[in-house]
Amino acid sequence: MLERLARLVDERSAVWSYGGTTSGFCELVHARRRTAFRVVRRQFAAVHANLAAGELELLGPGGERIGLDPDMTLDHVPGVADGTTLRAWVSATESALLAMNGRSMHHRSSREACKRIHRQARAINAGSDDGCFRKRRIALDDDGEAEDDLVAGDLEPSASFEATAAAGPLAGAHRLRWTLEGAGVVQLDVLDLTGRRVRRLVRDVLPPGTHQLDWDGRDDGGRLLRPGAYFVVGQVADLAVGQRLILLR
């Protein structure tokens, strides 16, 4: 079962590549070389391991189910909007970590992104006693100065985001609005239920202030999408965005 789990974790993310072996997976989650990016990556790997454990229906020593449901909502995770699904968070975090992989950790934006993702992934892996966090899961203990330095000073996001139904000729259109305290990178994409990107809404460095745009329910080619559930995911400065949208006709 560990071999199957290790293979799934390797297949599901481009943030690492260890050939799907159990030894490669163990090295990934142990991360003996403690750098900020590796520490964050190991917690993200644990999230994937919990998702794989749920899919494989793994059982703990006492016969209890282990794992996570990708459609669970992260209503108790710091810095994540209520109603965000784990599936949407994973997609947004994957994009953020891939972008960060080639960026210097000396940049303030990279360090803050590491702290935010690390804090959120730890909360997801640790769970709580209420809501959809009742199922047992794989959790990684953080020890050593690198982790302590990484999570020192709980940071509040320097941006806000909301998506609401927009009035207009197309029923189900959505208005996206966000506010930046300072200039920041904004990338927002629309994904379908399979995680495939169907529309890139914005990818730019924007000035401080409030910004908004309307998504008209079309893909990158200008074609109307089928009614149903979609997700807007991405980054607004240091805030991870992941919110479900319902497209109507």
| Per-position DSSP letters for 108-172, written without gaps between them | HHHHHHHHHHHHHHHHHHH--SSGGG-SB---PPP-SHHHHHHH-SPPPPSEEEEEEE--SSSTT
The DSSP element (H or E) to which 93 belongs, if any, is helix 86-101
pLDDT band at residue 90 using 50, 70 and 90 as cut-offs: very high
Q: Residue 50 pLDDT > 70, yes or no?
A: yes
In this structure, which amino acid lies at residue 138? Answer: I
- Domain assignments of the chain as residue spans, ordered by start: 2-151, 159-247
- The domain 159-247 having CATH identifier 2.60.40.4070: the answer here is yes
Q: Residue 149 pLDDT > 50, yes or no?
A: no
pTM: 0.59
Instruction: Give the separation between CA 63 and CA 102, rounded to whole angstroms.
Output: 42
The DSSP element (H or E) to which 54 belongs, if any, is helix 36-56
* Strand ranges across the sheet with 184-191: 197-206, 184-191, 228-236, 239-247
Report yes or no: 4 and 56 within 8 Å, Cβ to Cβ: yes
- Enter the tokens of residue 112: 């803050």
Alpha carbon 33 to chain centroid distance?
A: 24
- pLDDT at res. 144: 42
16-30, 159-173, 202-216: lowest mean pLDDT where?
159-173
Q: Residue 143 pLDDT > 60, yes or no?
A: no
The arithmetic mean of pLDDT across residues 163-189, rounded, is 77
Report yes or no: 96 and 79 within 8 Å, Cβ to Cβ: no
Q: Residue 105 pLDDT > 60, yes or no?
A: no
Instruction: Give the separation between CA 93 and CA 187, rounded to whole angstroms.
Output: 12
The arithmetic mean of pLDDT across residues 122-143, rounded, is 61
The arithmetic mean of pLDDT across residues 141-156, rounded, is 44
Instruction: Give the separation between CA 101 and CA 96, rounded to whole angstroms.
Output: 9
39-43, 44-48, 77-81, 146-150: lowest mean pLDDT where?
146-150
Instruction: Give the separation between CA 163 and CA 176, rounded to whole angstroms.
Output: 4
